[in-house]
């Protein structure tokens, strides 16, 4: 039995001192473009604005290799003890392990060996993601997920649907960490891209990684009339462009350009079945664009009848979403705040006591 078995599933953790030193370990970081990176980078910005000292341990600090079948994601290669020594030098007040990759594993190992509490987050439906890429059933990968997250003092989850999924897997130390949207950037008034002017309506938009686990083919194969637009890049782009020559692939967009892509579209289509949240959905809603999606985790937690539609028939979902009022969509998205989400993150962290913090410096591995 380890020290975490005495912690009740939904119990409060000790409050962090102000300001606090926070270490975040993640295998997902810039220059990757995805919801995990946006969530972590924005959370770090808010924390630093509030006076916290945040150190991100990420692949950009180490030699890395491309992930098999997904070269945009880099896997860090470190010698044994490197991550532990870095954590020891930092002596943080809280350790958060954001991902289940090589860096997350190294940090987990260090904390476990030294009986230091840490938190984790379940950002991606990892078993489903790997099932898409390997052809193996998702159940093959759940033992690893249970093993990785079980010792955490808290597992941060973005939605109630994912909370239920993890509870079914026997993971019960769960705490809510929602997401936010930059309302200064994502607005209904963002100017649409010039490419939209020549497109036949309605304009149906997808934004995100162009990869097999995002199920974009279901969107592009949907027979709904109009013009289909894909914003983003990834390993599946070349094959999808060849298979669906009538679709418009605009590549990667950020900031006001991305906001304009959302604001100028008639419906945002979210075909993924493997996301835990779907940050792009609230970005689209903030721009006044209703959402059409499958009734799966993420959309089930975010999309209401007033701001979109869910159906196993994507054509029906798109058609229904077009009746939603854009002003209602924008007002709904305004309830998602990065400041509120960051307060949830802070509340979920496991604060180290003085002995545990002092122990970091005394336990630097050889």
* Residue 314 buriedness (CB in 10 A; 0-12 / 13-18 / 19+): buried
Tens-place pLDDT, residues 96-123: 999 999 999 999 999 999 999 999 999 9
Locate the DSSP E strands across 110-252. Answer: 119-121, 154-157, 174-176, 203-207, 227-231, 248-251
Structural domains in the chain (count): 2
292 part of a folded domain: yes
Q: Give per-residue pLDDT as tens, 5-35.
A: 223 334 344 567 688 999 999 999 988 888 8
> What's the rounded mean pLDDT across residues 350-356?
80
Residue 359's pLDDT is: 62
Residues 9 and 149 in one domain: yes
Does some domain include residue 113?
yes
Judge whether 204 lies within some domain.
yes
In 10 A of CB 206, how many CB atoms? 25
CATH code of 318's domain? 3.40.50.2000
Say if residue 273 is in the same domain as residue 304.
Answer: yes
Tell me the per-residue pLDDT of 302-323, one tens digit each, with 9 for 90 and over: 999 999 999 999 999 999 999 9
pTM of the model: 0.88
Same-domain pairing of 32 and 163: yes
Q: Is residue 188 part of a domain?
A: no
Q: Please indicate, yes or no, whether residues 173 and 76 belong to a single structural domain of this protein.
A: yes
Residue 365 scores a pLDDT above 70: no
Neighbours of 104 (CB within 10 A): 23
176 and 56 within one domain: yes
Stretch 73-77: mean pLDDT: 80
Show the domain range for 252. 194-336
């Amino acid at each position: 039995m380890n020290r975490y078995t005495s912690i009740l599933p939904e119990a409060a953790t000790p409050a962090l001192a102000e300001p606090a030193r926070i270490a975040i370990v993640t295998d997902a970081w810039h220059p990757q473009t995805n919801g995990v990176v946006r969530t972590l980078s924005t959370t770090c910005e808010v924390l630093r604005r509030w006076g916290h000292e945040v150190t991100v341990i990420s692949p950009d600090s180490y030699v890395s290799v491309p992930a098999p079948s997904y070269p945009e994601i880099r896997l860090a290669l470190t010698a044994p003890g490197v991550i532990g020594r870095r954590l020891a030098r930092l002596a943080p007040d809280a350790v958060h392990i954001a991902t289940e990759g090589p860096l997350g594993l190294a940090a987990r190992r260090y904390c476990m060996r030294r009986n230091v509490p840490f938190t984790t987050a379940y950002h991606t439906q990892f078993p489903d993601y790997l099932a898409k890429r390997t052809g193996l059933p998702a159940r093959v990968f759940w033992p690893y997920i249970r093993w990785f997250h079980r010792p955490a003092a808290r597992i941060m989850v973005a939605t109630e649907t994912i909370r239920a999924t993890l509870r079914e897997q026997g993971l019960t130390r769960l705490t809510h960490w929602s997401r936010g949207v930059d309302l200064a950037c994502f607005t209904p008034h963002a100017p649409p891209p010039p490419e939209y002017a020549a497109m036949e309506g309605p304009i149906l938009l997808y934004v995100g990684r162009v990869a097999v686990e995002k199920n974009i083919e279901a969107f592009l194969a949907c027979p709904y009339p109009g013009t289909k637009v894909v914003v983003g890049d990834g390993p599946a782009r070349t094959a999808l462009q060849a298979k669906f020559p009538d679709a418009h692939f605009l590549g990667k967009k950020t900031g006001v350009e991305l906001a304009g892509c959302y604001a100028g579209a008639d419906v945002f289509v979210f075909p993924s079945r493997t996301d835990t949240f779907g940050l792009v959905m609230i970005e689209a809603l903030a721009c006044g664009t209703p959402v059409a999606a499958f009734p799966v985790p993420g959309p089930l937690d975010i999309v209401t009848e007033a701001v979109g539609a869910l159906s196993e028939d994507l054509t029906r979902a798109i058609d229904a979403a077009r009746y939603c009022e854009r002003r209602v969509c924008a007002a709904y998205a305004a309830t998602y705040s990065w400041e509120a989400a960051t307060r949830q993150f802070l509340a979920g962290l496991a604060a180290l006591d003085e002995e545990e913090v002092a122990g970091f410096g005394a336990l630097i591995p050889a």
